[in-house]
Chain A
Amino acid sequence: MTDELPRTDVTADTVGAGALPAAGEPLLRIEGVAKTFGTFRAVNGVSLDIMAGEFFALLGPSGCGKTTLLRMLAGFEAPDEGRILLGGKDIAQALPHERPINMMFQNYALFPHLTVRDNIAFGLKRARLARADIATRVAEMVALVKLEGLEKRKPDQLSGGQRQRVALARALARRPQLLLLDEPLAALDKKLRESTQGELMELQRRLGMTFIIVTHDQEEAMTMASRIGVMRDGKLAQVASPRELYEAPRSRWIAEFVGDINLFDGESKLRDGHRLVIGTRDAGALVVDEPREPVGAGKFAVAIRPEKVKLSRRGPVSEAGHETAINRLDGVIADICYLGGTTTYKVKLDAGGTVQASVANSARLDVNAYSVNQHVVAWFTPDDCVVLPS
Chain B
Amino acid sequence: MSGRRIFARPARLAAIAPYVWMVLFFLVPFGFVLKISLSQTAIAQPPYEPVFDLTAGWEALRAAFAALSLDNFRLLASDDIYVFAYVRSLTVAVTATALLLLVGYPIAYGMARLPTRWQAVAMVLVIVPFWTSFLIRIYAWINILQHDGLLNQILLALHLVSQPVVWLSTDSAMYIGIVYSYLPFMILPLYATLAKMEPVLEEAASDLGAPPWQVFWLVTFPLSLPGVGAGVLLCFIPIVGEFVIPDLLAGSNSLMIGQTLWLEFFTNKDWPVASAAAIVLLVVLLVPLLLYERLQRRQLEQGR
Q: Which residues of A contact B (CB under 8 A)?
A: 8, 74-76, 95-97, 101-103, 105, 107, 109-113, 122-123, 126-127, 154, 156, 170, 174
List of B residues within 8 angstroms of A127 by Cβ = 209
* A121 CB → nearest B CB, Å: 10
* B37 CB → nearest A CB, Å: 44
List of B residues within 8 angstroms of A174 by Cβ = 208-209
List of B residues within 8 angstroms of A170 by Cβ = 208
Stretch at the interface among B26-34, B199-207, B284-292: B199-207
List of A residues within 8 angstroms of B222 by Cβ = 113
Nearest B residue to A107 via CB reads B200
Given A111-B219, A154-B302, A156-B302, answer yes or no on A97-B200 (Cβ-Cβ < 8 Å).
no
Give CA–CA (A168, B209) in the complex, Å: 16
B151 at the interface (CB under 8 A from A): no
Nearest B residue to A76 via CB reads B203
Interface size class on chain B is 10 to 19
B234 at the interface (CB under 8 A from A): no
List of B residues within 8 angstroms of A110 by Cβ = 204
Given A8-B209, A154-B302, answer yes or no on A96-B214 (Cβ-Cβ < 8 Å).
no
List of A residues within 8 angstroms of B203 by Cβ = 74, 76, 96, 105, 109
Instruction: List 13 contacting pairs A-B, 8 Å CB cutoff, sorted by A.
Output: A8-B209, A76-B207, A95-B211, A97-B206, A97-B207, A101-B207, A103-B207, A105-B203, A109-B201, A122-B205, A122-B208, A126-B214, A127-B209
Q: Are A105 and B204 in contact (CB under 8 A)?
A: yes
B223 at the interface (CB under 8 A from A): yes
Q: Are A112 and B207 in contact (CB under 8 A)?
A: no
Give CA–CA (A107, B199) in the complex, Å: 13
Using A96-B203, A112-B201 as known contacts, list a sample of 5 further A-B pairs with CB atoms less than 8 Å apart, ordered by residue number in A.
A74-B207, A75-B206, A105-B203, A110-B204, A123-B208
Nearest A residue to B197 via CB reads A112
Nearest B residue to A10 via CB reads B209
Q: Are A112 and B209 in contact (CB under 8 A)?
A: no
* A44 CB → nearest B CB, Å: 24
* Residue with the greatest number of chain A CB neighbours at <10 A, chosen from B200, B208, B223: B208
Nearest A residue to B215 via CB reads A97
Partner of A95, one of B206, B214, B218: B206
Partner of B198, one of A8, A97, A109, A113: A109
Partner of B206, one of A96, A111, A154: A96
Partner of A102, one of B201, B207, B210, B211: B207
Given A97-B211, A154-B302, answer yes or no on A113-B206 (Cβ-Cβ < 8 Å).
no
